[in-house]
Amino acid sequence: MNPIKVFPKIFPAFLLLFFFSGALQSQILKKLGKRAERAVERTVENRVDREASKKTDEVLDSILEPGSKKSPTDTQIENPLPPSGQDNPGNVGGNNDSGSTPGQPTKKTIEVYSKFDYVPGDKPLFFDDFSNDFIGDFPSKWNTNGGGEVVSINDSDEKWFELISGYNIYYIPDIPNLPEEYTIEFDIMALGLDNKTSSTSFLRVALSDDDKFKDGANFVHAHIPFCQYSPIGITMANHINNKREIYSVVRADLRDEILDRPHVSIAVNKQRFRLWVNEEKHIDIPRIVPQGAVLKSLKFHMNNFKDGKERVFISNLKVAEGGLDLRRKLISEGEVSTNGILFDSGSANIQPQSMGIIRQISQVLQEENGMNLMIIGHTDADGPEDANLSLSQKRAAAVKNALVSVYGISDSRLQTQGKGESQPIGDNNTPDGKAQNRRVVFKKI
């Protein structure tokens, strides 16, 4: 049957149906009255909220051309799952500051991060690199209403937690109620992304007053996109007492970054929410966090991965209270300790995302011309004691070198010292305790 011939016959019928449907709807709404009309409007609005992203995705996926960037399929990535029957390799690397391992992408130099202004909190609340979990198990310090497991990466000792995409599935680390000021950091690895990856595929990072598997009456959502054919941007949303106050999409092209194991940093200072991907700050909203609400949980949710080849993993999750201005503390107290300066595993190579702290220290020295500092390195107890002492000395020297070479501080104003594992402040038998013990102290002399 020729559809062109049929269409003129059925089109008037569609017009009549549309006309009478509209007239009927108008009569019903008039009879229901204003109150019921508002209820209908709310129902329609809620339905639109649920369906909008789904329908938009279907349209975009069908008509948009792939972006001009290099396709992720041009680079082969090995399957991160261990061979069948492989035992848990354990964490054999000493003093692993969530650092690089064989096969990890080349990191940017610290000079690239010279203007990076993120400063992690100084009181650890939670840390997990899954080193104490067995391959194939769900991590012991997390909760979920779905599934997921710890995996290894090729022949590395590094471990990652694979998140499963699904409707209303959340992953919740065991963190106490969040304070007013805190920071969050984690690494992402994505495999199998290509030009068919959905425009609504994202990792949701949620702060909520519900500690189970609901959005809650008060929350903040940040959506980190995985789409490769178009720069989708970062979606930010909140609810305050069950009412949406903010829903926005901030322009950001993260297509290259999401393929290269990015480091995500978040700082919450009362109502203010900031988010960095690697060295670049993308979000800085002054009043998005619900004021006065007790946010009980940090949640992760994977949205809309359509087939099994697309997989997302996170690791090195660190939550810490504070994010204070280290400059004021150093000036007022003469000493500041931080475990936010990270190094590659078993190495004195500074991870670039640590430069926010070093930048603040340089600002103090530039303002206080008469101040000189002792830089003291500390390690955890993994590995031989003498090796840790040497490593702590080298790490202190590396921090000094960054202050001198990147920020122009005079060499003569800085001294270094290493304490190794001799002065622990946390339990070296737990990942949290080890993270506390790996620290750098700046002391006025």
What is the predicted pLDDT for the residue at 114?
Answer: 77
Return the number of other C-beta atoms located less than 10 Å from residue 331's C-beta. Answer: 15
Q: Answer yes or no: do 251 and 117 share one domain.
A: yes
**The CA-based dihedral angle spanning residues 284, 290, 292, 295, taken in that order and rounded to the nearest 10 degrees:** -100
Asked whether residue 331 is assigned to any structural domain, the reply reads yes
Q: Answer yes or no: do 330 and 314 share one domain.
A: no
Asked whether residue 46 is assigned to any structural domain, the reply reads no
Domain of 428, CATH number, reads: 3.30.1330.60
Q: Answer yes or no: do 171 and 310 share one domain.
A: yes
What is the predicted pLDDT for the residue at 102?
Answer: 35
From the list 253, 274, 122, 98, the residue with the least C-alpha distance to 188 is: 98
Its sign, for the CA torsion 349, 355, 360, 362, is positive
Domain boundary among the residues 281, 305, 321 is at 321
CA distance from start to end of the chain = 91
From the list 340, 352, 349, the residue with the least C-alpha distance to 436 is: 340
Can you list the alpha helix ranges (DSSP code H) found in 337-438?
355-367, 385-405, 431-437
Asked whether residue 244 is assigned to any structural domain, the reply reads yes
Its sign, for the CA torsion 39, 44, 47, 49, is negative
Asked whether residue 427 is assigned to any structural domain, the reply reads yes
Can you list the alpha helix ranges (DSSP code H) found in 167-259?
255-259
**Which uninterrupted H or E stretch holds 327?**
helix 326-333
Residue 442 amino acid letter: F
Asked whether residue 43 is assigned to any structural domain, the reply reads no
DSSP 86: P
Query: What ranges make up the beta strands (E) of 153-271?
Result: 159-163, 171-173, 181-191, 202-208, 219-225, 234-240, 243-250, 263-269
What is the predicted pLDDT for the residue at 154?
Answer: 78
Asked whether residue 17 is assigned to any structural domain, the reply reads no
Question: Three-state SS for 89?
Answer: coil
Asked whether residue 7 is assigned to any structural domain, the reply reads no
Q: Answer yes or no: do 93 and 187 share one domain.
A: yes
Q: Answer yes or no: do 275 and 312 share one domain.
A: yes
Q: Answer yes or no: do 251 and 368 share one domain.
A: no
What is the predicted pLDDT for the residue at 37?
Answer: 52
Which tens digits make up the pLDDT trace of 176-219?
Answer: 889 999 999 999 999 999 998 989 999 999 999 999 999 999 99
Q: Answer yes or no: do 255 and 338 share one domain.
A: no
Q: How many domains does the chain have?
A: 2
Q: Answer yes or no: do 244 and 145 share one domain.
A: yes
What is the predicted pLDDT for the residue at 364?
Answer: 92
What is the predicted pLDDT for the residue at 428?
Answer: 93
Cα within 13 Å of Cα(370), Cβ side: 2
Asked whether residue 53 is assigned to any structural domain, the reply reads no
Which residues, listed in sequence order, are joined to residue 249 by a DSSP beta bridge?
Answer: 235
DSSP 122-154: SEEEEEE-STTS-TTSPPTTEEESS-EEEEE-T
From the list 375, 361, 346, the residue with the least C-alpha distance to 407 is: 361
Q: Answer yes or no: do 146 and 273 share one domain.
A: yes
Q: Answer yes or no: do 166 and 302 share one domain.
A: yes
Q: Answer yes or no: do 252 and 340 share one domain.
A: no
Domain boundary among the residues 321, 343, 372 is at 321
Domain that holds residue 387: 326-444
Mean pLDDT of residues grouped by 10 in the chain (445 residues)?
Answer: 48 47 50 50 49 48 42 40 36 43 54 82 89 94 95 86 91 92 95 91 96 94 95 96 96 94 94 93 95 92 81 94 77 89 90 88 92 96 95 97 94 97 93 90 95
Question: Does the global pTM surpass 0.85?
Answer: no
Helix, strand, coil tally for the chain in percent (to 5): 30, 30, 45
Query: 441: which residues sit within 8 A by CB, 6+ positions away?
Result: 335, 336, 337, 338, 374, 375, 376, 378
Domain of 131, CATH number, reads: 2.60.120.560
Give the span between the Cα atoms of 337 and 335, in whole angstroms.
Answer: 7
Q: Answer yes or no: do 394 and 310 share one domain.
A: no
What is the predicted pLDDT for the residue at 119?
Answer: 86
Domain boundary among the residues 296, 321, 346 is at 321
